[in-house]
Every structure is written in C-alpha cells, then in structure tokens.
C-alpha cells in the first residue's frame, strides 16, 4: 500500500487558524505567534509557537489540552434579573438537546443560587478519574451535570469573594472531564457580575441565550445582560420568553406577566426569539422533582416550546470547538500525528 502524502505547510497553517488566543480573541496565525512548522518524514509535525508573555493564557491550553477540548458549543443561559426561570430553562434545554440526539451537559455557574442539581435529579460528591479530572454526574437522559452544590453541605450558603468565584468557575471548565459533548449549557447567575466577566475571559467563543419574561420592565433589565455579552464580543444566539401566558382548564389564555417582552427584546437586539414558554404548573413541579418536563411530558405545550428553542440553538451553532477548534480534515488530507507544542518565551 502506498504511503499517504505528508501534510503541506498550508494545510497545517489552516488548522492552526482555529486556535484562538483567549485574551486577544484572534487566531495565533493572524497574531504571528506561529514561528515555525516542521513536517518530519514519519508524519510528525512540530510547531513552534511564540507566546506574547510568559503568562499568556493560551499556554495552559497547549500544555493541558483543556477539559473542554471535546465540547463543541458552550451556551450561556443568562438574564438581567433573578426569578425569570433561567435555571428551569437551562435544565430543560439540556434535557431536550440530549433527547434529540445532541449530547449535552449543564454547568451550574449560579454559585450563590445553585439549583441545577435538584432540577436534574442528581446530587452527590463526584468521583475523580486517573488523570485527576472531576467526573460530572449523569442525570436521566444522559445529561452531564456539574455544580458547586455537589461540594457543599446541603442547603448551606456559599459565601465567597470574586477571586474565589473565578477560580471555581475556571476549575469547572478546565478540571472536569466533560468528554464529547455537542452542547455545554451554563446556568449563569442573574445580572452582569464577576462570573460573567470571568467566562468572557475563559471562553471567548461562548454564545449567549437571554431569558426574559413578557413584561417590558423585565425586557429592559434583560437587555443589560445582553449588553454585557456584546461588550465582551460574545455572540447572542437569541432570546427565550418564559412565563408567556397561562391557559386555564377551560381554554382561556391569561397574560399574567404581560405580553410581548421577548419579541421586543429580540427585535431590539436583532436576534431571533427562540421560543415562548407558557406559564405551566407541571414545568415547575417537574423541576422541583428532578424530572425535566421535556422528557417527562414531551407533548405538553411548555415542552414543545422548549424543544423548539433547543432546535433553534442547534440551527444557530456551527459544529466547532471553543478555544481549541478542530475543523474536520478534507477527505484527501492525511492524518496528522503530533507532539506537545514547544513554546518560546
């Protein structure tokens, strides 16, 4: 059998364009950080990368490969205020994505108000693998779950300052063995504080879904979360309007929390309205019981709306990796074996 041709310098350079500097948010090729590419006769490729500083954040990605290396899309579920059902949406969207054949995880970044463990029905201290990576718990339907709630006494308060929050979120992203996921959904804390800024630094290619309720006052506050994401050049995927009307047993529809806020927000930000989720007692009951409505009652109106939002997320997300992207190789390109990248300081 004839030996496969060696990859060309241009092919390797194109692969390296997918490696993004987390702070400068540009490719290491565009930044001139790639100093040399040496293709060995046995097919090994040695690349020398010059870092901008000794503490360049991309160094860790090269040295550790990153626990997120097999996660294709990171979606932050955010809101400007609490009480809009953001955690309920996160848990149900993760379950909906998983049920429709898109492996998903849920990371509880709402450190002070963590509720994902209860909503997905898992709560114990996680195990650690041989590489000392934390193994996420697996909820019904295969959703992988991680939360600060797994590490603290039940119902105890988390009293941390900003730097401790930053370290915890960083550890959840870098030291958890997420494995192969198409979507990792992050349940964000309300508002625009430390965690949001931390994530913008660690995950420059994360995308945001903004949850709001129908009343214009909530829509105005939700826009602050969107503005924060845009300030850090993070992409907005769309909005979800929760508590969007209530239908009584006799068929009468009541707009308890007003009307149209989700569409107003979507129009103002020029992004799609991914779904309007009706106010639903079963949605709340199943969240409390740890059995997401989208899997327990998939035909209910609220489930259908959440599944529609999940499909909208799939339609809006190219299949790429955050930070270390791995575009599929052309059919004619040979496989590339590699060695750890030497770095120049």
Distance CA 263, CA 215 (A): 11
Which of 60-74, 181-195, 296-310 is predicted with the least confidence, judged by mean pLDDT? 60-74
**Tokens 């079963």 belong to residue:** 282
Residue whose structure tokens are 């709001």: 212
Residue with the larger pLDDT of the pair 73 and 23: 73
Helix %, strand %, coil % of the chain (to 5)? 35, 20, 45
Q: How many Å apart are CA 321 and CA 69, to the nearest integer?
A: 7
pTM comes to: 0.73
Q: How far apart are CA 215 and CA 16, in angstroms?
A: 46
Phi-psi region of 243 (alpha: psi -120 to 50; beta: other; left: phi over 0): left
202: confidence class by pLDDT, cuts 50, 70, 90: confident
pLDDT in tens, 49-84: 877 665 666 665 554 446 676 788 999 998 877 778
What are the b/e assignments for 270-303, b being 16+ CB within 10 Å?
ebebbbbbbbbeebeebbeebbbbbbbbeebbbb
């Amino acid at each position: 059998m004839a030996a496969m041709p060696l990859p060309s310098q241009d092919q390797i350079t194109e692969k390296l364009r997918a490696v993004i500097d987390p702070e400068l948010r540009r490719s290491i090729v565009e930044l001139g950080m790639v100093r040399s590419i040496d293709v060995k006769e046995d097919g090994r490729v040695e690349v020398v990368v010059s870092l901008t500083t000794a503490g360049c954040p991309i160094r860790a990605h090269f040295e550790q490969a990153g626990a997120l290396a097999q996660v294709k899309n990171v979606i932050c579920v955010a809101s400007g205020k609490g009480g809009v059902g953001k955690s309920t949406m996160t848990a149900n969207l993760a379950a909906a994505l998983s049920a429709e054949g898109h492996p998903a995880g849920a990371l509880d970044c709402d450190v002070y108000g963590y509720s994902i463990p209860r909503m997905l029905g898992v709560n114990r201290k996680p195990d650690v693998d041989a590489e000392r990576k934390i193994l996420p718990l697996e909820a019904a339907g295969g959703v992988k779950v991680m939360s600060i709630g797994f590490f603290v006494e039940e119902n105890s308060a988390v009293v941390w300052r900003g730097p401790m929050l930053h370290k915890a979120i960083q550890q959840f992203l870098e030291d958890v063995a997420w494995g192969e996921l198409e979507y990792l959904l992050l349940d964000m804390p309300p508002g625009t504080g430390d965690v949001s800024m931390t994530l913008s630094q660690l995950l420059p290619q994360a995308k945001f879904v903004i949850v709001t309720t129908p009343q214009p006052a909530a829509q105005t506050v939700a826009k602050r979360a969107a503005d924060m994401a845009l300030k850090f050049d993070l992409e907005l995927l769309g909005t979800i309007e929760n508590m969007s009307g209530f239908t009584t047993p006799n068929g009468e529809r009541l707009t308890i929390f007003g009307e149209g806020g989700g569409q107003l927000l979507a129009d103002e930000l020029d992004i799609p309205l991914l779904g309007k989720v009706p106010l639903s007692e079963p949605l709340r009951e199943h969240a409390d019981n740890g059995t997401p409505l989208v899997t327990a009652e998939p035909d209910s109106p609220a489930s259908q709306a959440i599944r529609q939002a999940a499909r909208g997320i799939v339609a809006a997300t190219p299949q790429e990796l955050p930070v270390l992207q791995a575009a599929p190789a052309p059919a004619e390109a040979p496989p590339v074996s590699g060695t750890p990248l030497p770095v120049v300081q």
